[in-house]
Protein backbone atom coordinates (compact mmCIF):
# COMPACT_ATOMS: atom_id res chain seq x y z
CA UNK A 1 0.00 0.00 0.00
CA UNK A 2 1.16 3.52 -0.83
CA UNK A 3 -0.07 6.44 1.27
CA UNK A 4 0.11 10.01 -0.03
CA UNK A 5 -0.94 12.94 2.15
CA UNK A 6 -1.69 16.40 0.76
CA UNK A 7 -3.82 19.45 1.56
CA UNK A 8 -6.95 20.86 -0.02
CA UNK A 9 -7.28 24.59 -0.79
CA UNK A 10 -8.86 25.35 2.59
CA UNK A 11 -6.20 23.44 4.56
CA UNK A 12 -8.06 20.18 5.13
CA UNK A 13 -6.01 17.00 4.86
CA UNK A 14 -6.52 14.59 1.96
CA UNK A 15 -4.91 11.14 1.98
CA UNK A 16 -4.70 8.80 -1.02
CA UNK A 17 -4.29 5.04 -0.56
CA UNK A 18 -3.03 3.10 -3.58
CA UNK A 19 -1.95 -0.34 -4.66
CA UNK A 20 0.83 0.15 -7.17
CA UNK A 21 1.11 3.34 -9.22
CA UNK A 22 0.20 6.54 -7.36
CA UNK A 23 0.83 8.99 -10.17
CA UNK A 24 -1.07 12.25 -10.08
CA UNK A 25 -1.52 12.34 -6.33
CA UNK A 26 0.34 15.66 -6.18
CA UNK A 27 -2.41 17.45 -8.16
CA UNK A 28 -3.23 20.79 -6.52
CA UNK A 29 -6.68 21.85 -5.39
CA UNK A 30 -7.25 25.08 -7.35
CA UNK A 31 -10.67 25.93 -5.93
CA UNK A 32 -11.04 29.35 -4.22
CA UNK A 33 -12.21 27.92 -0.90
CA UNK A 34 -12.63 29.84 2.33
CA UNK A 35 -11.37 28.27 5.54
CA UNK A 36 -13.77 25.80 7.13
CA UNK A 37 -15.82 27.39 9.90
CA UNK A 38 -17.52 25.06 12.39
CA UNK A 39 -19.80 25.69 15.33
CA UNK A 40 -19.77 22.25 16.91
CA UNK A 41 -20.27 21.74 20.61
CA UNK A 42 -21.24 18.81 22.81
CA UNK A 43 -23.82 19.05 25.56
CA UNK A 44 -24.28 16.58 28.40
CA UNK A 45 -27.65 14.97 29.07
CA UNK A 46 -27.70 14.46 32.87
CA UNK A 47 -30.69 12.08 32.78
CA UNK A 48 -29.02 9.58 30.46
CA UNK A 49 -25.39 10.52 31.23
CA UNK A 50 -24.71 10.92 27.51
CA UNK A 51 -23.19 13.58 25.28
CA UNK A 52 -25.11 15.11 22.36
CA UNK A 53 -23.41 17.02 19.51
CA UNK A 54 -24.98 20.31 18.42
CA UNK A 55 -23.81 21.34 14.92
CA UNK A 56 -25.72 24.24 13.39
CA UNK A 57 -23.19 24.68 10.54
CA UNK A 58 -24.16 21.29 9.05
CA UNK A 59 -27.49 22.66 7.83
CA UNK A 60 -25.63 24.01 4.79
CA UNK A 61 -23.99 20.72 3.75
CA UNK A 62 -24.28 19.41 0.19
CA UNK A 63 -27.57 17.62 -0.46
CA UNK A 64 -28.21 15.23 -3.38
CA UNK A 65 -26.30 17.09 -6.12
CA UNK A 66 -26.65 15.92 -9.76
CA UNK A 67 -24.14 13.26 -10.77
CA UNK A 68 -22.15 15.71 -12.91
CA UNK A 69 -21.67 17.87 -9.79
CA UNK A 70 -20.69 15.06 -7.41
CA UNK A 71 -17.98 16.37 -5.04
CA UNK A 72 -16.54 12.87 -4.51
CA UNK A 73 -15.76 12.07 -8.14
CA UNK A 74 -12.22 12.78 -9.40
CA UNK A 75 -11.45 16.24 -10.80
CA UNK A 76 -11.66 15.96 -14.59
CA UNK A 77 -12.12 18.18 -17.63
CA UNK A 78 -11.66 21.36 -15.64
CA UNK A 79 -14.31 20.51 -13.03
CA UNK A 80 -12.71 20.56 -9.57
CA UNK A 81 -14.01 18.41 -6.73
CA UNK A 82 -12.88 17.37 -3.26
CA UNK A 83 -10.45 14.98 -5.01
CA UNK A 84 -7.94 16.98 -7.14
CA UNK A 85 -6.49 13.87 -8.84
CA UNK A 86 -7.95 12.70 -12.15
CA UNK A 87 -8.36 9.20 -10.73
CA UNK A 88 -7.91 7.45 -7.40
CA UNK A 89 -8.30 4.08 -5.69
CA UNK A 90 -9.19 5.06 -2.10
CA UNK A 91 -9.24 8.66 -0.88
CA UNK A 92 -9.85 9.98 2.63
CA UNK A 93 -10.31 13.64 3.50
CA UNK A 94 -11.50 15.81 6.35
CA UNK A 95 -15.22 16.52 6.06
CA UNK A 96 -16.02 20.11 5.06
CA UNK A 97 -19.13 19.94 7.26
CA UNK A 98 -17.87 17.97 10.27
CA UNK A 99 -19.98 17.01 13.26
CA UNK A 100 -16.80 17.13 15.36
CA UNK A 101 -13.67 19.18 14.75
CA UNK A 102 -10.75 20.79 16.50
CA UNK A 103 -8.81 20.40 19.74
CA UNK A 104 -10.34 19.37 23.05
CA UNK A 105 -11.40 21.85 25.69
CA UNK A 106 -12.79 21.79 29.22
CA UNK A 107 -16.47 21.24 29.97
CA UNK A 108 -18.16 24.23 31.57
CA UNK A 109 -21.48 24.41 33.38
CA UNK A 110 -24.05 27.06 32.47
CA UNK A 111 -25.93 26.71 35.75
CA UNK A 112 -24.91 26.76 39.43
CA UNK A 113 -25.89 23.13 39.90
CA UNK A 114 -23.65 21.88 37.10
CA UNK A 115 -26.46 20.20 35.17
CA UNK A 116 -25.99 22.14 31.92
CA UNK A 117 -22.52 21.00 30.90
CA UNK A 118 -21.15 21.90 27.48
CA UNK A 119 -17.74 21.51 25.83
CA UNK A 120 -16.16 22.07 22.41
CA UNK A 121 -17.24 19.53 19.83
CA UNK A 122 -13.66 18.33 19.53
CA UNK A 123 -12.50 15.48 17.35
CA UNK A 124 -12.38 14.85 13.64
CA UNK A 125 -14.72 13.62 10.89
CA UNK A 126 -13.42 12.15 7.66
CA UNK A 127 -14.96 10.99 4.39
CA UNK A 128 -13.72 7.71 2.89
CA UNK A 129 -14.22 7.33 -0.87
CA UNK A 130 -14.09 3.62 -1.68
CA UNK A 131 -13.65 4.02 -5.44
CA UNK A 132 -13.57 6.70 -8.12
CA UNK A 133 -16.48 4.97 -9.93
CA UNK A 134 -19.62 6.96 -9.10
CA UNK A 135 -21.99 4.18 -10.16
CA UNK A 136 -20.35 1.37 -8.18
CA UNK A 137 -20.97 0.18 -4.64
CA UNK A 138 -18.69 -1.41 -2.06
CA UNK A 139 -20.03 -4.82 -3.10
CA UNK A 140 -18.71 -4.16 -6.63
CA UNK A 141 -15.10 -3.90 -5.45
CA UNK A 142 -12.57 -6.63 -6.06
CA UNK A 143 -11.14 -8.39 -3.02
CA UNK A 144 -7.87 -6.56 -3.60
CA UNK A 145 -9.59 -3.16 -3.52
CA UNK A 146 -11.71 -4.14 -0.49
CA UNK A 147 -8.46 -5.06 1.24
CA UNK A 148 -7.13 -1.59 0.44
CA UNK A 149 -10.18 -0.06 2.14
CA UNK A 150 -9.44 -2.22 5.20
CA UNK A 151 -5.88 -0.90 5.15
CA UNK A 152 -7.20 2.66 5.00
CA UNK A 153 -9.62 2.08 7.89
CA UNK A 154 -6.78 0.58 9.92
CA UNK A 155 -4.39 3.45 9.18
CA UNK A 156 -7.01 6.07 9.99
CA UNK A 157 -7.88 4.30 13.24
CA UNK A 158 -4.24 4.45 14.30
CA UNK A 159 -3.82 8.10 13.23
CA UNK A 160 -7.05 9.40 14.76
CA UNK A 161 -6.72 7.45 18.01
CA UNK A 162 -3.45 9.30 18.63
CA UNK A 163 -5.04 12.77 18.36
CA UNK A 164 -5.37 14.74 21.61
CA UNK A 165 -8.77 14.28 23.20
CA UNK A 166 -9.98 11.47 20.94
CA UNK A 167 -11.60 8.66 22.92
CA UNK A 168 -13.07 6.40 20.23
CA UNK A 169 -12.89 5.91 16.46
CA UNK A 170 -15.87 4.67 14.42
CA UNK A 171 -15.50 3.68 10.75
CA UNK A 172 -18.88 3.27 9.05
CA UNK A 173 -20.85 3.38 5.81
CA UNK A 174 -24.39 4.67 5.31
CA UNK A 175 -25.74 3.28 2.03
CA UNK A 176 -28.99 4.36 0.37
CA UNK A 177 -31.31 7.36 0.42
CA UNK A 178 -33.57 5.53 2.87
CA UNK A 179 -30.73 5.67 5.39
CA UNK A 180 -30.32 9.43 4.87
CA UNK A 181 -27.33 9.45 2.52
CA UNK A 182 -26.97 12.86 0.84
CA UNK A 183 -24.26 11.89 -1.69
CA UNK A 184 -24.73 8.97 -4.06
CA UNK A 185 -21.03 8.24 -4.64
CA UNK A 186 -19.86 5.07 -2.80
CA UNK A 187 -18.30 6.36 0.40
CA UNK A 188 -18.20 6.00 4.14
CA UNK A 189 -17.19 8.12 7.08
CA UNK A 190 -14.96 8.01 10.14
CA UNK A 191 -15.83 9.78 13.38
CA UNK A 192 -13.20 10.41 16.04
CA UNK A 193 -15.25 11.14 19.17
CA UNK A 194 -14.13 13.15 22.21
CA UNK A 195 -15.98 10.68 24.46
CA UNK A 196 -16.78 6.98 24.59
CA UNK A 197 -20.07 6.40 22.80
CA UNK A 198 -23.14 5.27 24.79
CA UNK A 199 -23.36 1.91 23.01
CA UNK A 200 -19.75 1.11 23.81
CA UNK A 201 -20.11 2.18 27.44
CA UNK A 202 -23.07 -0.18 27.82
CA UNK A 203 -21.13 -3.05 26.25
CA UNK A 204 -18.17 -2.39 28.55
CA UNK A 205 -20.44 -2.40 31.63
CA UNK A 206 -22.07 -5.64 30.47
CA UNK A 207 -18.66 -7.23 29.87
CA UNK A 208 -17.42 -6.17 33.31
CA UNK A 209 -20.52 -7.62 34.97
CA UNK A 210 -20.17 -10.86 33.02
CA UNK A 211 -16.54 -11.23 34.06
CA UNK A 212 -17.44 -10.60 37.71
CA UNK A 213 -20.21 -13.23 37.59
CA UNK A 214 -18.52 -15.92 35.50
CA UNK A 215 -14.84 -15.09 35.21
CA UNK A 216 -15.14 -15.26 31.42
CA UNK A 217 -15.13 -12.78 28.57
CA UNK A 218 -18.63 -11.81 27.42
CA UNK A 219 -17.72 -11.42 23.74
CA UNK A 220 -15.87 -14.75 23.58
CA UNK A 221 -18.68 -16.56 25.36
CA UNK A 222 -21.33 -14.96 23.15
CA UNK A 223 -19.61 -15.93 19.89
CA UNK A 224 -18.99 -19.45 21.20
CA UNK A 225 -22.66 -19.79 22.18
CA UNK A 226 -23.85 -18.62 18.74
CA UNK A 227 -21.51 -21.07 17.01
CA UNK A 228 -22.66 -23.91 19.25
CA UNK A 229 -26.34 -23.10 18.65
CA UNK A 230 -25.78 -22.67 14.90
CA UNK A 231 -29.30 -21.53 13.94
CA UNK A 232 -28.28 -17.90 13.48
CA UNK A 233 -24.80 -18.44 12.03
CA UNK A 234 -24.67 -16.97 8.52
CA UNK A 235 -21.06 -17.60 7.49
CA UNK A 236 -17.91 -19.08 9.03
CA UNK A 237 -14.30 -19.18 7.89
CA UNK A 238 -11.02 -20.00 9.56
CA UNK A 239 -10.72 -16.44 10.89
CA UNK A 240 -14.28 -14.97 10.97
CA UNK A 241 -17.75 -15.78 12.26
CA UNK A 242 -20.87 -13.94 11.07
CA UNK A 243 -24.24 -14.39 12.76
CA UNK A 244 -27.59 -12.73 13.32
CA UNK A 245 -27.74 -11.80 17.03
CA UNK A 246 -30.17 -13.71 19.26
CA UNK A 247 -31.87 -10.41 20.13
CA UNK A 248 -31.39 -8.60 16.83
CA UNK A 249 -33.00 -5.15 16.77
CA UNK A 250 -33.14 -4.73 13.00
CA UNK A 251 -35.01 -6.85 10.42
CA UNK A 252 -31.76 -8.15 8.93
CA UNK A 253 -28.71 -7.60 11.11
CA UNK A 254 -25.36 -9.41 11.06
CA UNK A 255 -22.44 -9.19 13.46
CA UNK A 256 -19.02 -10.25 12.18
CA UNK A 257 -16.27 -11.21 14.66
CA UNK A 258 -12.67 -12.28 14.12
CA UNK A 259 -11.97 -15.67 15.73
CA UNK A 260 -9.10 -14.13 17.71
CA UNK A 261 -10.40 -11.36 19.96
CA UNK A 262 -8.71 -7.98 19.40
CA UNK A 263 -9.74 -4.49 20.59
CA UNK A 264 -9.52 -2.68 17.25
CA UNK A 265 -8.53 -2.87 13.60
CA UNK A 266 -4.86 -2.15 14.27
CA UNK A 267 -4.46 -5.52 16.04
CA UNK A 268 -6.01 -7.82 13.43
CA UNK A 269 -3.55 -10.53 12.45
CA UNK A 270 -2.45 -11.29 8.91
CA UNK A 271 -4.79 -14.25 8.48
CA UNK A 272 -7.88 -12.28 9.49
CA UNK A 273 -6.87 -9.37 7.28
CA UNK A 274 -6.37 -11.65 4.30
CA UNK A 275 -9.77 -13.33 4.70
CA UNK A 276 -11.80 -10.22 5.47
CA UNK A 277 -12.33 -8.86 1.93
CA UNK A 278 -13.90 -12.08 0.67
CA UNK A 279 -16.08 -12.46 3.77
CA UNK A 280 -17.28 -8.86 3.78
CA UNK A 281 -18.01 -8.71 0.06
CA UNK A 282 -20.01 -11.93 0.34
CA UNK A 283 -22.10 -10.50 3.19
CA UNK A 284 -22.80 -7.27 1.30
CA UNK A 285 -23.80 -9.18 -1.82
CA UNK A 286 -26.14 -11.37 0.22
CA UNK A 287 -27.77 -8.24 1.65
CA UNK A 288 -28.47 -7.08 -1.90
CA UNK A 289 -30.18 -10.40 -2.66
CA UNK A 290 -32.41 -10.63 0.44
CA UNK A 291 -35.51 -9.18 -1.17
CA UNK A 292 -35.13 -10.61 -4.67
CA UNK A 293 -33.71 -9.51 -8.02
CA UNK A 294 -36.42 -6.94 -8.76
CA UNK A 295 -35.83 -4.89 -5.61
CA UNK A 296 -33.52 -1.84 -5.61
CA UNK A 297 -30.18 -2.14 -3.78
CA UNK A 298 -30.65 -2.83 -0.08
CA UNK A 299 -30.06 0.22 2.12
CA UNK A 300 -27.75 -0.56 5.02
CA UNK A 301 -25.51 0.77 7.75
CA UNK A 302 -22.20 -1.00 8.31
CA UNK A 303 -19.76 -0.01 11.03
CA UNK A 304 -16.81 -1.19 13.08
CA UNK A 305 -17.24 -1.29 16.86
CA UNK A 306 -13.80 -0.66 18.33
CA UNK A 307 -12.53 -0.31 21.90
CA UNK A 308 -12.03 3.16 23.39
CA UNK A 309 -8.64 4.55 22.53
CA UNK A 310 -7.66 6.34 25.72
CA UNK A 311 -8.59 8.30 28.84
CA UNK A 312 -8.10 11.85 30.07
CA UNK A 313 -4.78 10.83 31.59
CA UNK A 314 -3.53 9.57 28.24
CA UNK A 315 -3.32 5.94 29.33
CA UNK A 316 -5.22 3.17 27.59
CA UNK A 317 -8.41 2.05 29.28
CA UNK A 318 -8.09 -1.30 31.08
CA UNK A 319 -11.36 -2.41 29.43
CA UNK A 320 -9.64 -2.47 26.02
CA UNK A 321 -8.35 -5.97 26.67
CA UNK A 322 -11.90 -7.20 27.33
CA UNK A 323 -13.50 -5.54 24.30
CA UNK A 324 -13.91 -7.41 21.02
CA UNK A 325 -13.68 -5.68 17.67
CA UNK A 326 -16.71 -6.52 15.54
CA UNK A 327 -18.54 -5.30 12.47
CA UNK A 328 -22.29 -4.65 12.51
CA UNK A 329 -24.32 -4.60 9.26
CA UNK A 330 -28.05 -3.97 9.24
CA UNK A 331 -30.83 -2.77 6.97
CA UNK A 332 -33.94 -0.77 7.78
CA UNK A 333 -35.89 -2.57 5.02
CA UNK A 334 -38.12 -5.16 6.71
CA UNK A 335 -39.73 -6.63 3.59
CA UNK A 336 -40.19 -5.82 -0.07
CA UNK A 337 -41.08 -2.14 -0.43
CA UNK A 338 -41.41 -1.53 3.32
CA UNK A 339 -39.06 0.10 5.82
CA UNK A 340 -38.62 -0.37 9.55
CA UNK A 341 -39.34 3.01 11.11
CA UNK A 342 -38.11 3.92 14.57
CA UNK A 343 -41.45 5.07 15.89
CA UNK A 344 -42.86 5.50 19.41
CA UNK A 345 -41.38 2.52 21.24
CA UNK A 346 -37.96 2.65 19.58
CA UNK A 347 -37.47 6.45 19.43
CA UNK A 348 -39.32 7.32 22.61
CA UNK A 349 -38.30 4.50 24.94
CA UNK A 350 -35.39 2.76 23.23
CA UNK A 351 -37.27 -0.55 23.08
CA UNK A 352 -36.88 -2.16 19.65
CA UNK A 353 -39.62 -4.30 18.15
CA UNK A 354 -38.34 -6.58 15.38
CA UNK A 355 -40.80 -7.94 12.79
CA UNK A 356 -38.39 -10.59 11.47
CA UNK A 357 -37.36 -13.46 13.80
CA UNK A 358 -33.54 -13.60 13.92
CA UNK A 359 -33.58 -17.30 13.00
CA UNK A 360 -35.64 -16.54 9.88
CA UNK A 361 -33.30 -13.70 8.93
CA UNK A 362 -30.27 -15.98 9.27
CA UNK A 363 -31.95 -18.67 7.16
CA UNK A 364 -32.67 -16.15 4.42
CA UNK A 365 -29.08 -14.86 4.47
CA UNK A 366 -27.85 -18.43 4.06
CA UNK A 367 -30.29 -19.04 1.20
CA UNK A 368 -28.91 -16.14 -0.84
CA UNK A 369 -25.26 -17.22 -0.57
CA UNK A 370 -23.16 -16.93 -3.71
CA UNK A 371 -23.04 -20.13 -5.71
pLDDT digit string (tens) for 17-26? 999 888 889 9
Are 237 and 177 part of one and the same domain?
A: no
The percent of residues above 90 in pLDDT, for the chain, comes to 86
Write the secondary structure of the chain as one string of H (helix), E (strand) and C (coil): CEEEEEECCCCCEEEEEECCCCCCCCCCCCCCCCCCCCCEEEEEECCCCEEEEEEHHHHHCCCCCCHHHCCCCECECCECCCECCCCCCEEEEECCCCCCCECCCCCEECCCCCCCEEEECCEEEEEEECCCCCCCCHHHCCHHHHHHHHHHHHHHHHHHHCCCCCCEEEEEEEECHHHCCCCCCCEEEEEEECCCCHHHHHHHHHHHHHHHHHCCCHHHHHHHHHHHHCCCEEEECCCEEEECCCCCCCCEEEEEEECCCCCCHHHCCHHHHHHHHHHHHHHHHHHHHCCCCCCCCCCEEEEEECCCCCCCCCCCCHHHHCCCCEEEEEECEEECCEECCCCHHHHHHCCCCCCCCHHHHHHHHHHCCCC
pLDDT of residue 35: 86
Ranking 29-38, 140-149, 344-353 by mean pLDDT, the lowest is 29-38
Are 113 and 181 part of one and the same domain?
A: yes
Are 53 and 143 part of one and the same domain?
A: yes
Query: Quick one: average pLDDT of 104-110?
Result: 92
With bands split at pLDDT 50, 70 and 90, how would you rate the model's confidence at 313?
A: very low
Are 20 and 106 part of one and the same domain?
A: yes
Are 218 and 353 part of one and the same domain?
A: yes
pLDDT, one tens digit per residue, over 202-224 is 999 999 999 999 999 999 999 99
Query: Quick one: average pLDDT of 237-248?
Result: 98
With bands split at pLDDT 50, 70 and 90, how would you rate the model's confidence at 68?
A: confident
Are 116 and 205 part of one and the same domain?
A: no
| Predicted TM-score of the model (pTM) | 0.95
With bands split at pLDDT 50, 70 and 90, how would you rate the model's confidence at 314?
A: very low
Are 139 and 227 part of one and the same domain?
A: no
For residue 242, pLDDT over 80 is answered with yes
Are 257 and 334 part of one and the same domain?
A: yes
Domain that includes residue 183, residue range: 2-196
Report how many domains make up the chain. Answer: 2
For residue 370, pLDDT over 50 is answered with yes
Ranking 2-6, 35-39, 108-112 by mean pLDDT, the lowest is 35-39
Query: Quick one: average pLDDT of 100-116?
Result: 92
Query: Quick one: average pLDDT of 135-144?
Result: 98
- Of 163, 196, 229, the one marking the end of a domain is 196
Are 192 and 340 part of one and the same domain?
A: no
Are 210 and 358 part of one and the same domain?
A: yes
Q: Which residues are catalytic?
A: 187
- Of 149, 181, 196, the one marking the end of a domain is 196
With bands split at pLDDT 50, 70 and 90, how would you rate the model's confidence at 371?
A: confident
The percent of residues above 70 in pLDDT, for the chain, comes to 97
Query: Quick one: average pLDDT of 327-350?
Result: 96
pLDDT of residue 315: 44
Are 182 and 287 part of one and the same domain?
A: no
Query: Quick one: average pLDDT of 111-121?
Result: 93
CATH of the domain at 89: 3.30.428.10
Compute the mean pLDDT over every residue in the chain, rounded to the nearest whole number: 94
For residue 64, pLDDT over 90 is answered with no
- Of 133, 165, 196, the one marking the end of a domain is 196
Are 294 and 332 part of one and the same domain?
A: yes
pLDDT of residue 59: 73
Query: Quick one: average pLDDT of 343-359?
Result: 96
Amino acid sequence: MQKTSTRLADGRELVYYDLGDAAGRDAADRRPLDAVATASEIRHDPLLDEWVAVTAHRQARTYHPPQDECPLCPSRNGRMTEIPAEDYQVAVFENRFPSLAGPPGPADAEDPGGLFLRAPGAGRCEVVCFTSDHDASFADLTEERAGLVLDAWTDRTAELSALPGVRQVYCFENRGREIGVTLGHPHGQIYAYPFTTPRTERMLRAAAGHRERTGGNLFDDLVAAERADGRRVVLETGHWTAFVPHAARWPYEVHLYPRRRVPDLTELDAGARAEFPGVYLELLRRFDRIFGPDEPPTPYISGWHQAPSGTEGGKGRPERSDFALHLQIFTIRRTSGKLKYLAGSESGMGVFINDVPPEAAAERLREVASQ
